[in-house]
Amino acid sequence: MEKLVRLLEKRSLTPVQYECLRKASSEYLEHGGVFSVPLLDPNMVEPPAVPKHRVLQPTFALQSKAFMLTYNSLTITPSVWTAFKAFVVDLKKKYGARAFAACLELSLHASGSMQRHHCHAYFFWTDGVGIYVRDLDPFVFQGIRPRIDVCVTRANAVSPKSAACHGLWYVSVMKEGTIHSDTDYQAGVWYKPQPMWLQYLYQDKKLSYANYVAMSAQDFPLGHAARKRDADEAMRDLREQVVKRLIKDELTLLKTNGAYFEARAFPEVDTFVSHFEGGAKWRRPVLLVIGATNLGKSMLAGAVLEKVGRAIGMANPSFAEVTVEEDAHLDFSDFDVEAHAGVLFDGLADTLVLKKHRETLQGRPKALKGGRSATMKFSYPFTLTRRAVVATMDLSAANLHLLSTDHWLKDARNVIQLHLTQPAWQQQGLLANGGVPWPLQAKTPAQTMREWSVNAVMSFLQGADLAGPAAKLYDNGLAGADLEDVSLSVLTQDLRLSVFAASKVIAARNAFLGRAQ
């Protein structure tokens, strides 16, 4: 106890800190402790030669074969680099050091708005003698007394020479914030740097991801692939956590500011959630939310999945958002059946995706494979048993007409369709800017058909099992506006369809438009 008190009282303490030290010492004495001499009076305490770093006794001496000097002062700016380097080179020659390294860095974690800089110098002796001095006066640079960190490595796993080379490399390498650096003992020429030194720098956040990968490839090619793979994996996970935290914070702000509204009641949602209450089922339907942009489809889908989570007994229900790749494969690698109440397909671009993957999405009690590994094979096991699938689509999605014509998609036992014509949230029914009212009427089938492209017409006919006529009409460039008014005679005489095929095209069109046959 007395040793610690003597150590602290010789440091540059503030009056408040010194009073705390005096109070602790008094309590120690009151409980039976003994000091050989009483506490010094604050006015009698002489500041140490190196404030806040070391207590230098009268017998102080520096004896070492490798050490680093750190110069920290408001007077250090990038302009002192030339003078500092010359100062370090002179010290190296004067004391016979084998090698030196020096750098000038921006202090990245300094408090206050003003930029601060500091300098490092490292010396290394290989003559077996090193340096012996009785004070720090020779190392004072422009009135700045340095802090000294001596290499004291004694472990069997790391030799003192390797530790000293590590110090040289640390000072000379270009880290985050390094403005200038130089050395006369180049890595790779006079010594071989170890990969773990690079990893330590990255772990201590002294290297950016880009610099870490570049330095790994250039200076440590052996093992670079593994290091880059680990760094990439960590970066992906870090970005994922940042995204989740940002979303959570934004939702919290929306709720705090009163901009987060309760969802409206929809019979389709109640019917969908009821499928997850009660006993087991062989299959369950998919909920598809369709509507124009800015109606709150995604947030409604998330709220529905949370309802399902509570229905199946989850305390803190969440869901996974599954992306659909261009080749229409589903990636379930992020889906956790223990943590997620279901999956969300947000902004689905084509209704045929639901039909193509119907055996997977209806939650049959079986193990499935999803997601792709590095070898392009499905390798992530999952199941959607007793888990919900909710998808959202806007009015620009492909093959929307199939929702009313395809035998599987239009069946509510397979897909429960919720068509939004106004916001899904309980608000005033106006746009956020207070201007235009939300549309209360959906487009008529005729309006929808007029907007179809030639590709959309082809998809419509293919969904009606008319692939042959669809190809013929596609070759002739028949769009939705043409299909609305096309006659049997045009189809047979101008487009050369058989009377039978043309009749089936007319029947499919009339069924979609709700016309009498």
**What are the residue ranges spanned by the domains of the chain?**
2-44, 65-191, 267-420, 445-513
Q: Which DSSP category does 48 fall into?
A: P
- Pairing type for strands 340-345 and 318-321 reads parallel
Q: What's the mean pLDDT in 332-349?
A: 85
Q: What's the mean pLDDT in 348-363?
A: 85
Residues of 404-432 as b/e, b for ≥16 C-beta within 10 angstroms? ebbeebeeeebbbbbebebbbbebeeeee
CATH number at 267-420: 3.40.50
Q: Band the pLDDT of 288: cuts 50, 70, 90.
A: very high
Distances (CA, A) of 396 to 291, 399, 451, 452, 476: 9, 9, 10, 10, 24
Alpha-carbon span 158 to 236, nearest angstrom = 34
Q: In percent, how much of the chain has pLDDT > 90?
A: 37
Q: Band the pLDDT of 169: cuts 50, 70, 90.
A: very high
SS3 260: coil
Give pTM, 2 decimals.
0.54
List, for residues 464-476, the tens digit of each pLDDT value.
788 899 999 999 9
Least reliable range by pLDDT among 109-113, 273-277, 315-319, 430-434: 430-434
Q: What's the mean pLDDT in 141-145?
A: 92
Look-up: residue for tokens 């007029």?
Answer: 450
**Which residues partner with 180 through β-bridges?**
104
Least reliable range by pLDDT among 37-41, 146-150, 413-417, 502-506: 37-41
Is the sign of the CA dihedral 197, 202, 203, 206 positive or negative?
Answer: positive
List, for residues 48-102, the tens digit of each pLDDT value.
544 444 444 555 678 889 999 999 988 999 999 999 999 999 999 999 999 999 9
Alpha helices, DSSP H, located in 416-498: 445-450, 454-463, 467-475, 480-485, 488-489
Domain 65-191: which topology?
Answer: Replication Protein E1; Chain: A, (3.40.1310)
User: Using CB atoms within 10 A of its CB, is residue 127 exposed (0-12), middle (13-18) or buried (19+)?
Assistant: exposed
Q: Round the average pLDDT of the chain to a whole number and report it.
A: 83
- Whether the predicted pLDDT of 435 surpasses 50: no
**Which residues partner with 330 through β-bridges?**
324
Q: Band the pLDDT of 499: cuts 50, 70, 90.
A: very high
Distances (CA, A) of 27 to 14, 16, 22, 38: 20, 17, 9, 14
Look-up: residue for tokens 């003597």?
Answer: 6
Measure the CA angle with vertex 51, ends 48 and 55; round to 5°.
45
Instruction: Check residue 292 and give its pLDDT.
Output: 81
- Whether the predicted pLDDT of 106 surpasses 90: yes
**Which residues partner with 287 through β-bridges?**
390, 416
* Comparison of pLDDT for 53 and 26, the residue scoring more: 26
Find all residues with CB under 8 Å of 73, minimum gap 6, and list them. 118, 144
Q: How far is CA 235 from the centre of its chain?
A: 7
Q: Which CATH class is domain 445-513?
A: mainly alpha
**Which residues partner with 255 through β-bridges?**
none
User: Using CB atoms within 10 A of its CB, is residue 172 exposed (0-12), middle (13-18) or buried (19+)?
Assistant: buried
| Number of Cβ within a 10 Å radius of residue 508 | 20
* Comparison of pLDDT for 59 and 14, the residue scoring more: 14
Q: Band the pLDDT of 432: cuts 50, 70, 90.
A: very low
- Whether the predicted pLDDT of 382 surpasses 80: no
Instruction: Check residue 287 and give its pLDDT.
Output: 95
Least reliable range by pLDDT among 116-125, 469-478, 508-517: 508-517
Q: Which DSSP category does 186 fall into?
A: -
Q: What's the mean pLDDT in 280-300?
A: 87
Alpha-carbon span 252 to 242, nearest angstrom = 15
Instruction: Check residue 10 and give its pLDDT.
Output: 67
Phi, psi of 286 (to 5 degrees): -100, 140
Q: What's the mean pLDDT in 2-30?
A: 79
CB 440 within 8 A of CB 422: yes
Alpha-carbon span 286 to 393, nearest angstrom = 13
Alpha helices, DSSP H, located in 179-277: 195-203, 209-219, 224-256, 267-274
Alpha-carbon span 251 to 116, nearest angstrom = 38
- Pairing type for strands 286-291 and 388-393 reads parallel
Give the CB-side neighbour count of residue 500, counting CA atoms within 13 A. Answer: 1
List, for residues 180-227, the tens digit of each pLDDT value.
999 999 998 899 999 999 999 999 999 999 999 999 999 999 999 999
Instruction: Check residue 56 and give its pLDDT.
Output: 46
267, amino acid identity: P
